Amino acid sequence: MVETPEIVTKDLIKVYRAGKSEVIALRGLDMQVGDGELVALQGPSGCGKTTLLNLIGGIDRPTAGSVVVDGTNVADMSDADLVSYRRDRVGFVFQFFNLVPTLSAEENIELPMRLAGKPSELREKRTRGLLQLVGLEKRAVHRPDELSGGEQQRVAIAVALANDPPIVLADEPTGELDTKTGEEILALFRRLNGELRKTVLVVTHDARVAGIAHRVLQIQDGKIVGEAARN
């Protein structure tokens, strides 16, 4: 059992409707992630992993059921509350980096802080600190197309951390990277969890991610079907 749950989903259901067709992506999914845990999510393509992250991250709303984060049901939040929830409480890391192509590394990292109305001095200081954390001080003024895949993913991680959210959600963060680069990114996730005390939920097919996780949850057909403790 999780001692202090930070994320609790209960009977979570998500049905996508397009015209007359209906896809049941989540069918009553229950799970918990504890404060400070690093949990991996695995399961076959189409089983609902991305859907689950989107609901936890407030990118989409459930059809039924609850997503309680730190005692608040995200499913009940107003649109305005969801905007600040997404901005301040969760950081997202995607498979394809998701950087703004026209902005430099440092401008990408600053952007979430600008949107949150942080003063420029704080933004600059924090951007420098984050560039250092991800080992990219020397790439600050480069645009994404001037960076390698691994470097872009490091910038993306810094972007996710910009407003210092307690939770980091990652969807196949090593999916596009070669073995060695993938390992470096994983080492970074481990530091986020170990040193910065971020709660990390990472979707992955990568067996090495499971190796750094405290627990591995198996999803199948929109439900949790198994759990293995690791570290």
Among residues 120 and 220, whose Cβ is nearest to ligand ATP?
220
Minimum distance between the CB of residue 185 and ligand ATP, rounded to whole angstroms?
18
If contact means CB under 5 to 8 A according to the sort of partner, which of ligand ATP, Mg ion, none does residue 51 touch?
ligand ATP
48 near ligand ATP, judged by CB under 6 A = yes
9 near Mg ion, judged by CB under 5 A = no
If contact means CB under 5 to 8 A according to the sort of partner, which of Mg ion, ligand ATP, none does residue 126 touch?
none
Minimum distance between the CB of residue 19 and ligand ATP, rounded to whole angstroms?
10
20 near ligand ATP, judged by CB under 6 A = no
If contact means CB under 5 to 8 A according to the sort of partner, which of Mg ion, ligand ATP, none does residue 48 touch?
ligand ATP
Neighbours of 108 (CB within 10 A): 24
The set of residues, in sequence order, having a beta carbon less than 8 Å from that of 96 and lying 6+ positions away, is: 176
Among residues 52 and 109, whose Cβ is nearest to ligand ATP?
52
Size of the site for Mg ion (CB under 5 A): 2
What is the dihedral sign for C-alpha 43, 48, 52, 53? positive
Q: b/e per residue, 127-157, with b = 16+ CB within 10 A?
A: beebbebbebeebeebbbeebebbbbbbbbb
For 121, 177, 226, the CA distances from 191, given in Å and listed in that order, are: 26, 19, 26
163 near ligand ATP, judged by CB under 6 A = no
51 near ligand ATP, judged by CB under 6 A = yes
- The encoded tokens of residue 208 equal 């090495």
Minimum distance between the CB of residue 94 and Mg ion, rounded to whole angstroms?
10
Among 50, 95, 174, 193, binds Mg ion (CB under 5 A): 50
Sole residue written with tokens 């910038």: 155
Minimum distance between the CB of residue 35 and ligand ATP, rounded to whole angstroms?
25
200 sits in which H/E element: strand 199-203
Q: What's the start-to-end Cα distance of the chain, in Å?
A: 15
Minimum distance between the CB of residue 204 and Mg ion, rounded to whole angstroms?
10
Binding piece for ligand ATP, criterion CB under 6 A, among 31-39, 46-54, 68-76, 206-214: 46-54
Identity of residue 81? D
62 near ligand ATP, judged by CB under 6 A = no
Determine how β-strand 72-73 pairs with β-strand 90-93. unpaired
